[in-house]
Amino acid sequence: MKILLIHQYFLEKDDGGGSRFNELTKFWAEAGNEITVIAGMVHYATGKKRSKYKRKFIVKEQYDRNIKVYRCHVSEAYNSSFIGRLWAYFSFVFSSIIATIFFVREKHDVVLVTSPPLFVGITGYLVSRLKRLPLIFEVRDLWPESAIDTGVLKNKVIIKLAFAFEKFIYAKSVRINTLTPAFYNILKSKKNVSEEKLWMIPNGSDFSFSDAILEKFDRDTFRESMNWYDKTVFLYIGAHGIANHLVQIIDAAERLTGTKAHFVLIGDGMDKPNLINQAQQRNLKNIQFLEPVPKSEVFKYILASDVGMSVLKKTDTFKTVYSNKTFDYMACKKPILMLIDGVSRDLIESADCGLYAEPEDIEDIVNKVKIYLNDKDKICKQGENGYAYAKQNFDRTLLAQKYLLNLQNVVK
């Protein structure tokens, strides 16, 4: 099978961040399928290009066996302003259309588009019509709702147009994959998408990384090298943006000064300089900021920590999402301090693999941290519970197999 994937934020091999499709495509390629990826040149968190892409419009790369990537121009104005972000989205739409029409010579069986940003659907729709391919659209986040709730999208005209385009692209898609039960139900009941169109293949846990590293990982030596040896480490990995509202972790860290709690934040994003500045102004010694690390290394930090944290701003829209890193924490037998209500809260409570704290309620966050500080057995037990639950329900290898089978059924 030959799959054309349009994914603006498909990672490089040594990038940190959400790597859902890097792992899915690897599995599909190893199964003998050929994948062509249309991706952007800018990392979603930093908004910056690598030097090798400077003054380039389209760059073709052999990413892996059976996986080719066409890196397309994206404006670096992404984090500068709302207009800059829109220009970054539409610059990719333009360059990706050029790449798929004029550079990609291979014939494909299906075009798969993953959003956000929603506007990648423009490329997907045009390509599906021009090349007569079935269009599969994936909803990783409800957009434009999430952009509205976080204050990124305010212009009423653009909001109206975004909702209109969302309705259009759902209608033109042969199938729509959703990442959470909430997305599935919202599309079916509130957006009037036929249930026959809907799939639900969520994010999952990549045990191939965690299990392989666990076999030879010297946790004590790693912790000592990080000066974590006598601390209880609460680890956050992910974007440092407006949607994450990580200032609530700084507020909690300030309240927990003098305890064994040590907060480590790994990643990048437009709000990171502000967060570092706030921690420095408050003279906090129990919070540590680290640069993004590639997937091959990130599991070492998780395995060396004590508790993983999943954090988002308090909005109704985020009650519908699963945090990507939650599944990585589960694969590493770490309990989760969950600062996201809704389906994410339901997940950890069903698995008994973490504690929920009300987002932006500093008192509640502090109290839940103290529970872990005073109960090491709970850390161990919940970590084991999460691993077992993820093995049964969210093994990414099994999810990749299911996704591939669904794609094959579409093109039969």
Task: Lay out the sheet containing 261-266: strands in order across.
Answer: 287-290, 261-266, 232-237, 307-311, 336-339, 354-356
Please say if the pLDDT value at position 85 is more than 90. Answer: no
> Sorting pLDDT into bands at 50, 70 and 90, what band is 80?
low
pLDDT at 365: 98
Question: What is the CB-side half-sphere exposure of residue 325 using CA atoms within 13 A?
Answer: 29
**Which residue bears the tokens 């940190």?**
16
Please say if the pLDDT value at position 238 is more than 90. Answer: yes
pLDDT at 149: 82
Q: Give the torsion sign (CA, 321, 326, 327, 328).
A: positive
Please state the φ and ψ torsions of residue 56, each to the nearest 5 degrees. Answer: -115, 150
Mean pLDDT confidence for 24-32: 95
Please say if the pLDDT value at position 380 is more than 70. Answer: yes
Please say if the pLDDT value at position 272 is more than 70. Answer: yes
Distance of alpha carbon 228 from alpha carbon 303, whole angstroms: 12
- Among candidate residues 394, 366, 61, the one with its CA nearest the CA of residue 203: 394
pLDDT at 400: 96
> Sorting pLDDT into bands at 50, 70 and 90, what band is 163?
very high
User: Residues, the chain, total?
Assistant: 412
202-236 residue pLDDT tens = 999 988 777 778 778 899 999 999 999 899 999 99
Q: What is the 3-state secondary structure (H, E, C) of the chain?
A: CEEEEECCCCCCCCCCCCCHHHHHHHHHHHCCCEEEEEEECECCCCCCECHHHCCCCEEEEEEECCEEEEEECCCCCCCCCHHHHHHHHHHHHHHHHHHHHHHCCCCCCEEEEEECCCCHHHHHHHHHHHCCCCEEEEECCCCCHHHHHCCCCCCHHHHHHHHHHHHHHHHHCCEEEECCHHHHHHHHHCCCCCHHHEEECCCCECHHHHHHHHHHCCHHHHHHHCCCCCCEEEEEECCCCCCCCCHHHHHHHHHCCCCCEEEEEECCCCCHHHHHHHHHHCCCCCEEEECCCCHHHHHHHHHHCCEEEEECCCCCHHHHCCCHHHHHHHHCCCCEEEECCCHHHHHHHHHCCEEECCCCCHHHHHHHHHHHHHCHHHHHHHHHHHHHHHHHHCEHHHHHHHHHHHHHHHCC
Check whether domain 2-204+395-410 has CATH 3.90.1150.10, yes or no: no
pLDDT at 383: 98
pLDDT at 390: 96
User: In sequence order, what are the residues at sequence separation of 6 or more whose Cβ sits closer than 8 angstroms to the Cβ of residue 2?
Assistant: 33, 34, 35, 36, 106, 107, 108, 109
- Among candidate residues 6, 5, 77, 72, the one with its CA nearest the CA of residue 41: 72
Which has the higher per-residue pLDDT, 102 or 211?
102
> Sorting pLDDT into bands at 50, 70 and 90, what band is 35?
very high
> Sorting pLDDT into bands at 50, 70 and 90, what band is 412?
confident
Q: What is the pTM of this model?
A: 0.89
Please state the φ and ψ torsions of residue 156, each to the nearest 5 degrees. Answer: -65, -35
How confident is the prediction for the chain on average, in pLDDT? 93
Distance of alpha carbon 268 from alpha carbon 248, whole angstroms: 17
Question: For 71-85, 158-172, 296-310, which range has the lowest pLDDT when averaged over its residues?
Answer: 71-85
- For the domain bounded by 207-393, which CATH number is listed? 3.40.50.2000
Using CB atoms within 10 A of its CB, is residue 306 exposed (0-12), middle (13-18) or buried (19+)? buried
- Among candidate residues 226, 112, 91, 223, the one with its CA nearest the CA of residue 177: 112
pLDDT at 321: 94
Do residues 369 and 253 lie in contact, with contact meaning Cβ atoms separated by under 8 Å?
Answer: no
> Sorting pLDDT into bands at 50, 70 and 90, what band is 82?
low
287-340 residue pLDDT tens = 999 999 887 789 999 999 999 999 999 999 999 999 889 999 999 999 999 999
Mean pLDDT confidence for 165-184: 96
- Among candidate residues 280, 242, 285, 286, the one with its CA nearest the CA of residue 263: 286
> For the chain, where do the domains classified as CATH 3.40.50.2000 start and end?
2-204+395-410, 207-393
Mean pLDDT confidence for 145-169: 87
